[in-house]
Structure 1
Amino acid sequence: MQMLLSPSPPPAAAHLPAAAPAWTQPLRARRLAGVPQASASAEFPGFVPDGAQMPPGRRRRRSVAGIDQDELLDPEALADPDSSFFEINGVRLHHKVCSHEDEDSSSDQSSDATVSEAGRSRIGLPILLLHGFGASVFSWSRVMRPLARIAAAKVLAFDRPAFGLTSRASWSGDDSKPLNPYSMAFSVMATLAFIDYLGAEKAVLVGHSAGCLVAVDAYFEAPERVAALVLVAPAIFAPRKGVKDSATGEQEAQKQNVPNDENSPPTLFARIWGGFLKLCKHIAGLVSKMMMVIRDVLRSLYVKALVAFLRSSLGAMLVRWVMDKFGILGVRNAWYDPSKVTDHVIQGYTKPLRSRGWETALLEHTISMIIDSASATRVPVSKRLSEISCPVLVVTGDTDRIVPAWNAERVAHAIPGARFEVIKGCGHLPQEERPEEFLSVVERFLRTVFGTPNERVFQAAV
């Protein structure tokens, strides 16, 4: 048995340290020289140190559309010198007001040549500007002051909740707040509140893209408060014209060929066939009702699942990724000539991404739109366009890639008496890309509707 045991080492070898591998010798030498052990990661290419131990300059910073997401601020901290805030139901709405009495035009970026001497005569109606999805007060910056001079009244633009510098309110489905701040109903209420804020009985509402939905809904909520509507590139699905059923005539002809002699007794075949048809109709009605119930249940489950996903951390990651990859690209595609989109424009659209909680607010706004569209009780705006009776102007760019010009024309045709104007060489943002032409079109419309009789005759002649 002793021969199976490993022999004990020589006495001298028992006191010697084990020989170190050759690749550890440089590391041992550096440790002896006082080099911090954290630098040993250079010796192990697969080793990743904890982010908390990394120097601040080496940490990976999050960025969305070029905006650092590690240094977000409250929206009010990003306000401009001419910014104001108006609180409604705990939401502080960012807005700007231009008055026709303002003499300082040094910050006006648009040409005053569009405001003619005739345009300086008094219309006296304030104008409210409603931006589209992903935009803000910034999108009206080139036309606010000229519009105030044209109307000889105040012009107000505000950021709807989830956009611009309006405060990001917390909201969930079971919240105790009286109204979802990201809903269409809240935007309508805010629009009417701003008319009161200006001390006016009624105002002209100018909506752009999705802002047109707010303008039209505000009209349906309180038509007596809306003097006129200007719908710019309206993101409203226009209904197609009704087409008569060509089969109606054939059906009438078939009815005429069926004998209808009440005195002639029905045959046995006729009685059996008539009963069979009634049974089939009854079964078809039951199947149709079952399908409607199943469809409503599936739609409800789908909406609930989608809302749960959007409110998860994955939803926040998704919206940040989308804004990072397509945010600036979307702005460029909204122009007829993307090469003319300046850094000033990009900065204006990406500035709200510096607001704390912007992604959560944007998701809640999207959720609100999904719930509204899935509502069985809400009548789509497109089906009520024929009910509008106030003066309406529809404006579009001839090369709009987001809301095609043909859809805007269909919206104009669906509204009784609406005027339709196309701006050449223009995309989805006429008020930014072609401010002079946009102001000219709006001024001509306002002169025709609200001007003196002489001005109306002049504009009709033009």
Structure 2
Amino acid sequence: MQMLLMLPSLRPPPAAAQLLAAAPARKSLLLARRPAGPPAASASAEFPGSVPDSAQMPPRQRRRRSVAGIDQDELLEPDALADPDSSFYEINGVRLHHKVCSHEDEDEDSSSDQSSGSITTASDAVRKSQIGLPILLLHGFGASVFSWSRVMRPLARMVRAKVLAFDRPAFGLTSRASWSADDAKPLNPYSMAFSVMATLAFIDYLGAEKAILVGHSAGCLVAVNAYFEAPERVAALVLVAPAIFAPRKVVKEDQSGDQEAQQTQNVPSDENSPPNLFARIWGGFLQLWKHIAGLVFKIVTAIQGVVRSFCIKALVAFLRSSLGAALVRWVMDKFGVLGVRNAWYDPSKVTDHVIQGYTKPLKSKGWETALLEHTISMIIDSASASRVPVSKRLSEISCPVLVVTGDTDRIVPAWNAERVARAIPGATFEVIKSCGHLPQEERPEEFLSVVENFLRTMFANPNEQVFQAAV
């Protein structure tokens, strides 16, 4: 029994106790074996698997933001990006970038050609016949004055007057004005009303009573709205790939008529049939449900209005947030250049010069905020119940109208542009072959020929027409 009590005292000490006891001796042994010299540079020199101290790591370079190849850390004021032939015209505190081509400049060029021995032919005399009306060019969404660069000078020669193109707010090199609904400014610079006012102001700027308005895509909306605002100031409208009607499915009238006829055949309407109590009860029941359905429809419509208003406010708040700005930068970076190429009939013919022309405005400060404010203004305008859409007023246009489209327009299909031409009384409709959404850029010669034929038909005086016939 005593031997059993003595067994615990004979157990060996724990392994941990042995290690702790041996630690001082092992440590002194390691210190004795370490060679003399300077201390190690870092812990990783002794232990290759360890992580270096953060203080000794090289500083990280901040990632630079780029949108469509444009460095967003080196943005400039729009004035600093202007071309030698750029001008600025201030309206309500907004500096509108524009360019002007004059036929007088072309006359100087032609006179220098004549002095060098060139001969003026009869066709040159016809080309110089007086139309005498200035032209205002209105670009589409995402474009700028650049989109008219290939046709401005030829148009000036054609009409024997000045041709002006300007960048609407949020586009090109026009200043990015800060604006919100709480501002005391009289007019939102990103609204349709401001673009219309600027269009009419530029007619005054040219010192003209009337002008020919040439709009492209969404710029056609500005041209038509300017006509309705002051029809006496608009001599003619040229609508290029007009983005006025939203694409929709066309339902054939005969099919709908057949369905209505089939539905009416299922309703008993024989007055000579014997009275049927069940039929009368069923008819009254249907009438009751008809009234109930009408009441429910009115309630749902009212609820939809409230929900729609709430959704619009939520959408506007999101677009004005930092997430909205990040979203628009991402969209422009991923799809901006692709959208330009998709607008052409043959995307492979889009040169670097064209890409640079469309991406240049991305170098200006505040471009994403301005683009978002323009989008917000479009949403609010479309939700306005008091304003009649332009698409429902096209029949009121009485000035000469030309509608031009490309046969392979992927953005505004040719059949959609033809709908606009049919809705305007007396409008002329022309289709340019092997052409996409930008006839003035992709097929400038064909575009100028179509526009010239239209303008000379509408505005050439009888003497000029006789002269042309004689030639």
Fold-level similarity (TM above 0.5):
yes
1:116 positional shift: 4.8
Gaps of 5+ in 1: 22-26, 107-112, 261-265
- Amino acid corresponding to residue 229 of structure 2 in structure 1: E
Per the alignment, residue 257 of structure 2 pairs with: 246
Change (3 A) 1:456 1:30: farther
Per the alignment, residue 9 of structure 2 pairs with: none
Per the alignment, residue 282 of structure 1 pairs with: 291
**Structure 2-normalised TM-score?**
0.81
1:28 positional shift: 6.0
Counterpart among 93, 97, 107 of residue 94 in structure 1: 97
1:60 positional shift: 2.1
Change (3 A) 1:184 1:299: same
Bigger Cα displacement from structure 2, 247-256 vs 413-422: 247-256
Question: Are residue 62 (structure 1) and residue 68 (structure 2) matched?
Answer: no
C-alpha distance in 2 between matches for 1:181 and 1:20: 80
Deviations 1:171-221 (A, max 9, x none): 222222211111111111111111111111111000001100110111111
Aligned ranges 1:1-400 → 2 under 5 Å: 29-30=40-41, 44=51, 53-54=59-60, 58-103=61-106, 116-237=124-245, 243=253, 246=257, 279-400=288-409
Conservation of the 8 A alpha-carbon contact between 1:96 and 1:158 = yes
Deviations 1:246-273 (A, max 9, x none): 378899999996769xxxxx99989877
- Amino acid corresponding to residue 304 of structure 1 in structure 2: K
C-alpha RMSD of matched pairs (Å): 4.0
- Amino acid corresponding to residue 136 of structure 1 in structure 2: S
Question: Are residue 414 (structure 1) and residue 423 (structure 2) matched?
Answer: yes
C-alpha distance in 2 between matches for 1:178 and 1:237: 30
Per the alignment, residue 117 of structure 2 pairs with: none
Partner-residue secondary structure (3-state), 2:185: coil
C-alpha distance in 2 between matches for 1:20 and 1:421: 96
Conservation of the 8 A alpha-carbon contact between 1:127 and 1:156 = yes
Conservation of the 8 A alpha-carbon contact between 2:432 and 2:446 = yes
- Amino acid corresponding to residue 361 of structure 2 in structure 1: P
Conservation of the 8 A alpha-carbon contact between 1:140 and 1:431 = yes
Same amino acid, percent of matched pairs? 76
Counterpart among 431, 440, 448 of residue 439 in structure 1: 448
C-alpha distance in 2 between matches for 1:419 and 1:19: 102
Greater radius of gyration (CA): 2
Partner-residue secondary structure (3-state), 1:304: helix
Conservation of the 8 A alpha-carbon contact between 2:126 and 2:468 = no
Conservation of the 8 A alpha-carbon contact between 1:233 and 1:394 = yes
C-alpha distance in 2 between matches for 1:370 and 1:212: 18
1:348 positional shift: 0.6
Conservation of the 8 A alpha-carbon contact between 1:448 and 1:455 = no
Conservation of the 8 A alpha-carbon contact between 2:220 and 2:244 = yes
- Amino acid corresponding to residue 237 of structure 1 in structure 2: F
Partner-residue secondary structure (3-state), 1:443: helix
C-alpha distance in 2 between matches for 1:323 and 1:50: 36
- State how many pairs are aligned: 435
Conservation of the 8 A alpha-carbon contact between 1:64 and 1:321 = yes
1:284 positional shift: 2.7
Partner-residue secondary structure (3-state), 1:416: coil
Conservation of the 8 A alpha-carbon contact between 1:132 and 1:208 = yes
Change (3 A) 1:241 1:269: closer
Deviations 1:272-295 (A, max 9, x none): 777656544432331121011011
C-alpha distance in 2 between matches for 1:409 and 1:269: 53
1:458 positional shift: 8.2
**Structure 1-normalised TM-score?**
0.82
Change (3 A) 1:430 1:267: closer
Conservation of the 8 A alpha-carbon contact between 2:129 and 2:464 = no
Change (3 A) 1:289 1:461: farther
Change (3 A) 1:50 1:323: farther
Conservation of the 8 A alpha-carbon contact between 2:325 and 2:372 = yes
C-alpha distance in 2 between matches for 1:457 and 1:225: 29
Bigger Cα displacement from structure 2, 447-456 vs 244-253: 244-253
1:118 positional shift: 1.5
Conservation of the 8 A alpha-carbon contact between 1:448 and 1:460 = no
C-alpha distance in 1 between matches for 2:173 and 2:182: 26
C-alpha distance in 2 between matches for 1:12 and 1:272: 108
Counterpart among 404, 428, 453 of residue 462 in structure 2: 453
Bigger Cα displacement from structure 2, 198-207 vs 295-304: 295-304
1:121 positional shift: 1.1
Change (3 A) 1:338 1:272: closer
Deviations 1:426-448 (A, max 9, x none): 11111111111111111111100
- Amino acid corresponding to residue 246 of structure 1 in structure 2: G
Conservation of the 8 A alpha-carbon contact between 2:155 and 2:163 = yes
